[in-house]
A and B are shown apart, each in its own frame.
Chain A
Amino acid sequence: MSHYAIVVDLDRCIGCHGCEIACKNENEVELGSFWNKVVQVGPFGDYPHLQQYFLPVMCQQCADSPCTHVCPTGASYRDENNVVLVDKEKCIGCKYCMMACPYGVRSWSPSENVVEKCTLCGQLTSVGEQPKCVAACCGSARFYGDLDDPASDASKALAAAGANAVHRLKDVGNAPQTAYILSSKYAAWKEEID
């Protein structure tokens, strides 16, 4: 079994938002929707000794994904690599999945009346390329791959970072797989974000 996901090294993310535009260009994401959004966390601390990081948020590829559980038609599903996807032909636009997602990373497409989300750029990875946000990333902060494969870019980045520097968004029982690297020398990880 594979678990494909993206790992983001927040030590290297410089908050340029290029991944947002790369994603929108590649996937023709409509105005008003983002499949990937960079959130600024901080600055916090005592001026001028501040900390801050940028947190790119996209589908967290949950192992126990609420979105697929609540979908009444099977439009939201996990494929054989555990990638969470939406089959737009089956989507009836009920938006249950958008309400179920703990991270708000699903988008509504007003032109097609369906829910959309990060696909890990399957159209690119299936022909051997990187997801567009990974390829464009100015800080080389993003790593794509199978978390179950120690040889994948994503697994290697996590291994190099060490367990203390690896974080995940708050788990409310959904087991998010997307992982973030943040060293304590740069900033303390914030479990709750405003």
Chain B
Amino acid sequence: MRHPSRLRAALATDPEIGAGNVLAKLVEHGAALDGPGISFDVAVDGYPAWTPLTLGVLRERVAARAAWLHAAGIRARDPVAIYVTSSADCLLNFMAMTWLGAIPALMNGNLPGDIAVEYIRRLRGAGVLADAAHRGQIEDAGLDVPILPDVSQAGTGDPADAPAHYRHHDDDPVAITHSSGTTRMPAAVVHSHASLFAATREEHLAAPRTGDQERMLCVLPAPHAAGIISTQQALCNRHELLFLSAQGGRFERSGAAVLDVIERWHPTSVYGFAVTWAELARFDLSQRDLSSVGLWFNTGDCAHEAHVRRLVTCGSHLTYTRDGVTRVPGSKFIDGIGSTEMGHSAFRAVHRMTSDRYGRCVGKPYAFAEVALLDTESGEEVPDGQVGHLGLKSPTLAPGYWNDSASTYRSRLRGYYLTGDLMYRDAEGYYYHVDRAVDAVDLGGGHWLYTAMSEERILMRCPDVRDCTVVAGRAAGQIVTDVLLLLAPGADPGADRAQAIADALGKPAAATLRRVVAVPEDDIVVGPTGKVRKFLMRQRHLAATAAP
């Protein structure tokens, strides 16, 4: 058996490995079949929930599905939608379809049925694989692609009948995932064998091992790029991995679910989107046993300082001191900003208890990422300190939008992919995210309202606010801004926070402030991954409360 670290080097330098063949390559390079595979929070083919599936069992369960899908007529290059809730159904069938060279189109189980139907229609695929709950939402919609038998049948294939593994080229499509759909119909994004593995090869296989046997709890959504990347990252590094379904369940209860799992499973690292850290902010973490956690990893939207500071005081990690190896209190939080199209975070910021560089600082670019902050009118880079549009060149970048060349090319400028984010860089080379371009509001006179940066400042000034959303737009011909607050448990809904919020917004934006209101949870419209759907919020909120 190879030592794991030698295995890592062999994987990192294998020119044929990619997102489509991680399992096969692990076995080829001699990874122990009784070593870690994945644990799920649901039963898998007779293995009860929470059972650690070894690499060998994982490969066998994937082979069973590859055989079943092959018997169902799925072949190389067939796009097949997967519309399920459980992380096991998603990930095992993803791997089985890539075994065949097919193109799994992974759909978030939170997507409403009507959106899902239209999304599937636009895929122009070869089939749909769904669980019972989701079949009901699509089977009477008149889709012109076959709906395969229920996903619970997929594990009944005979692993021995699986055909030879498809041999991928770097450019081969291995998955279609969708954006969070915060502004529109989710965009279908195609990833290649190489692009979806690039961050694992360049970063995660090049990072030093830690002193602990790592136990990684993944609260990322399995059907999204981050879910796939985290899975291959854990497998290639031979970490133990527990993959929760649907980000821990209904968002308003997911914080409690995640804390329970941490106390039960004792992970050394927890991977999630920003919604997870916001949900954990409901709890007094000092009352929970989070001592096993040394790392929190965030991607998607960058996290809020108020949430990060609470987390890094929890947990513990091994360190080397002049007294030798010792376990010390506190954890680190790796923040970043990434998206489906970016294929991984492009930036990395590390926070510890002693950190003080916040203010939506996303750190510096990963070594594999080439970034530029661009003026989209001139195409030139903006100087330090000035806000520009983030342009990215990276081996992780998705090749484009599925069945939508117009959008693919519209999002490119001078060879860069325009992420839709507004950022500035300071003189030391640190990058700061101020807003999504579609959410920022031009106030005239060179002033802008950046909603995400405003939310960051509000959370820091109002500690009894758990999360907040700034909604700005035109109502009755003028720009108005409403600030919607989600209060922490025990906070006084009637407290006067107007001054603190006006300070947070700054003078030009504060002049547009119409009202500050504590809202119930269900007033905040979130997309399938927990991101606030500001586009919809603006439409509904500004229309419903237009000035008389």
A and B from one complex: no
